[in-house]
Structure 1
């Protein structure tokens, strides 16, 4: 599915004078919408299961300068050329919320593909220990949130739309 778009993306990078592999940038998709990620985008929802309690998910509060700044979402961003969505999700998470524990288990993924030439893949990973103390230019805060409390937060619109699918992955793995 990405092949037709990869050629257009490569051409747009060449026209812009970029020589790197970065997928950063807004792109106009075949459905007429403009989205972030020249090669698509990916994110990760981390899950922590405390003994005897409801699962917790890590959410990141996006900094004010970011698209839909001040909202909560999972860590994520543009896929670089040659990266898989999984690789991009982990790279973006390490940049935005800090070092990821080495031991994690993939619970599933949800792919939002609104156009034939663009998709956002969210990977759901279970970790054994809390992490995520990083606050930087992309992240104002990091929080571990009970599943039942996520809907009460001011969510990024894209994450809000994906959340029911992501929650079902978390609950199915219980």
Structure 2
């Protein structure tokens, strides 16, 4: 059964994903420092024209890790080999949760825009300082400081 659709959590917020949602935060530590892969969201989606993680609704009986990888593959077309799972950060709203699945990439890779959800700026590898300077999806903005602290 498809789990795409809107639902409400116990906090009264409206969320996409009947059984929760997940996004993939790809981290690369290189000679120029740490970078994070973010997606510019199309103006045609909920919280459009903001930056967030590639991700989306989880399927029934799908783990956050599997769902985040599936969604990221749909939106990026390809993920490189050698990704290492670092942690999963869960933002639980009571009856609904968003999981940020954090993976380390052995290299920076070109992220091609393969979905209508992606905005005109596509995907970008940003530093933490650069992330602080762009408009973020409200949910990502709320959890980003805690996620960043978790993986510091």
TM over 0.5: yes
Per-residue deviation, residues 32-63 of structure 1 (Å, max 9, x unmatched)? 32211101011110001112x22000000011
Contact 2:36 2:125 in 1 (8 A): yes
Q: Which of 88, 100, 107 lines up with 1:122 in the alignment? A: 100
Show structure 1 runs of 4+ deviating over 4 A: none
2:151 is matched with 170
Q: Structure 2 unaligned runs (5+)?
A: none
Contact 2:74 2:114 in 1 (8 A): no
More helix by share: 1
What RMSD in Å do the two structures reach over aligned CA positions?
Answer: 1.3
1:57 is matched with 36
More strand by share: 2
Partner SS for 2:90: strand
2:64 is aligned with 1:73: no
**Structure 1 Cα separation of the partners of residues 41 and 92 of structure 2:** 23
Show the 5 A alignment for 1:92-107. 92-107=71-86
**Structure 1 Cα separation of the partners of residues 86 and 66 of structure 2:** 16
Q: Which has the larger radius of gyration?
A: 1
Q: Structure 1 unaligned runs (5+)?
A: 1-20
2:113 is aligned with 1:134: yes
2:140 is aligned with 1:147: no
**Whose relative contact order is higher, 1 or 2, with alpha carbons under 8 Å and at least 6 apart?**
2
Q: Which of 7, 15, 25 lines up with 1:35 in the alignment? A: 15
